[in-house]
């Protein structure tokens, strides 16, 4: 297992990849630099290899696809993920990886928004989108993560191997953050300097289409991770609409003994039924989610126990019988 692995997902970053690889080799000389090329057509892979990086490939297009392959293929005590566009400084690399190596966190987040992001970034709608996503995550998941969509992150081995990569594109960072919050994993924010892309370098993130995907991902994960609150909100809305529709009909009935608008009453009744179904459906799903969280904790403990046994077995005490070694641990 490697000590530190620097992971750089790339798609057409020939203008900046050499500098990124060189800077991180200098900042973390003990690390192995991996560049995963995602169908680049500008020679990014050749330049990265010449700069000293280990170059591998992912044919399925999308940042999420690349990260899935990285996490499956590479084994390291600490992983540092950074974009290949030279917007994140290598000078912060040691600050990013140290909490992981010291076992103070499961994921370290490079916080751009608390430093130079809003002054350096020249795309105003990106700034608005980042603020919107941050406020949504804070409101829905009760977390103090400052920068939800940053691509500068460090992870430990356990997080990487137990994180289910479901997203295909740029919404992967949002998924990582929500997963860590839901599973009560250790998070740490490190403020990092941000600089805008070099002249001629083009962002692969589409402000509108990728922004919509991120918002959809937030609500999808909110539904999956907190179904009672999600379906409970829907239930409450349906209940209110049902009462609003039924109230005039009921008032008229009590005054005259007649029901003049049967269709309205029928619609109100169906909405009431839908509200009850949504409420009890949310309750059932919430029980399943709680069970899944318990199973995750059990699997995490079993996984860490196995890791300790394997690490112990790799020492000079390997001469002890395995059953005695297992009992001792």
- φ, ψ of residue 11 to 5 degrees: the values are -145, 105
Confidence at residue 3, expressed as pLDDT on a 0 to 100 scale: 94
Same domain, 186 and 84: yes
Range of the domain at 248: 227-328
Tell me the per-residue pLDDT of 108-149, one tens digit each, with 9 for 90 and over: 999 988 876 666 565 655 666 677 777 888 888 877 787 888
Distance CA 134, CA 39 (A): 31
Instruction: Examine the domain organization and report whether 173 and 251 are in the same domain.
Output: no
Do residues 55 and 152 both lie within one domain? yes
Do 93 and 179 fall into the same domain?
A: yes
- The domain boundary, picked from 224, 257, 284, lies at 224
Q: Which domain-ending residue is among 224, 240, 271?
A: 224
The reply to whether 33 and 70 lie within a common domain is yes
* Mean pLDDT, range 278-302, rounded to an integer: 89
**Residues 271 and 208 grouped into a single domain:** no
Return the higher-pLDDT residue of 215 and 52: 52
Q: What is the CATH number of the domain that holds 189?
A: 3.90.550.10
**Shared domain check, 180 and 262:** no
**Torsion angle of alpha carbons 156, 162, 166, 169, nearest 10°?**
10
How far apart (Å, rounded) are the C-alpha atoms in residues 88 and 197?
Answer: 10
Q: Are residues 174 and 287 in the same domain?
A: no
Q: Rounded to an integer, what is the distance from CA 254 to the centroid of its chain?
A: 55
Same domain, 28 and 130: yes
Beta strands in 91-240 (DSSP E): 107-111, 153-156, 187-191
Measure the CA angle with vertex 8, ends 6 and 14; round to 5°: 135
Check whether residue 74 and residue 131 sit in a common domain: yes
Pairing of strands 76-81, 153-156: antiparallel
One domain, residues 190 and 241: no
Whole-structure pTM over 0.85, yes or no? no
Of 68, 73, 4, residue with least CA distance to 32: 4
Q: What is the dihedral of CA 28, 31, 37, 38, to 10 degrees?
A: -90
pLDDT in tens, 221-263: 889 889 999 999 999 999 999 999 999 888 888 888 887 888 8
Structural domains of the chain, count: 2
Domain-terminating residue out of 190, 224, 258:
224
Which region among 24-38, 274-288, 289-303 has the lowest average model confidence (pLDDT)?
289-303
- Do 28 and 151 belong together in one domain? yes
**Among 55, 48, 59, 67, residue whose Cα is nearest residue 164:** 67
- For the packed helices 227-256 and 209-225, what is the interaxial angle rounded to 10 degrees? 80
What pLDDT sits at residue 116?
67
């Amino acid at each position: 297992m490697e000590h530190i692995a620097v992971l750089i997902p790339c798609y057409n970053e020939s203008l900046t990849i050499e500098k990124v690889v060189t800077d991180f080799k200098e900042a973390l000389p003990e690390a192995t630099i991996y560049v995963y090329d995602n169908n680049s057509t500008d020679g990014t892979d050749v330049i990265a290899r010449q700069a000293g990086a280990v170059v591998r490939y992912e044919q399925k297009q999308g940042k999420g696809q690349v990260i899935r392959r990285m996490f499956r293929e590479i084994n390291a005590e600490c992983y540092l993920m950074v974009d290949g566009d030279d917007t994140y400084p290598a000078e912060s690399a040691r600050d990013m990886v140290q909490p992981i190596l010291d076992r103070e966190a499961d994921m370290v987040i490079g916080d751009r928004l608390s430093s130079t992001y809003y002054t350096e970034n020249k795309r105003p709608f990106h700034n608005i989108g980042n603020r919107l996503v941050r406020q949504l995550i804070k409101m829905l998941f009760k977390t103090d993560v400052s920068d939800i969509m940053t691509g500068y992150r460090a992870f430990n081995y356990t997080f990487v191997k137990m994180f289910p990569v479901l997203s295909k594109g740029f919404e992967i960072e949002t998924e990582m953050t929500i997963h860590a919050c839901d599973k009560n994993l250790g998070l740490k924010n490190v403020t990092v300097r941000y600089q805008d892309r070099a002249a001629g370098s083009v962002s692969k993130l589409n402000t509108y289409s990728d922004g919509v995907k991120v918002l959809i991902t937030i609500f999808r994960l909110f539904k999956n991770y907190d179904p009672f609150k999600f379906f409970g909100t829907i239930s409450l809305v349906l209940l209110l609409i049902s009462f609003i529709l039924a109230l005039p009909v009921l008032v008229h009935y009590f005054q005259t003994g007649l029901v003049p608008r049967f269709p309205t009453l029928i619609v109100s009744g169906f909405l009431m039924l839908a509200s009850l179904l949504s409420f009890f459906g949310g309750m059932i799903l919430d029980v399943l989610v709680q069970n899944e969280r318990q199973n995750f904790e059990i699997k995490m403990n079993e996984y860490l126990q196995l890791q300790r046994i394997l690490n112990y077995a790799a020492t000079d005490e390997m001469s002890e019988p395995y059953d005695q070694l297992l009992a001792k641990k």
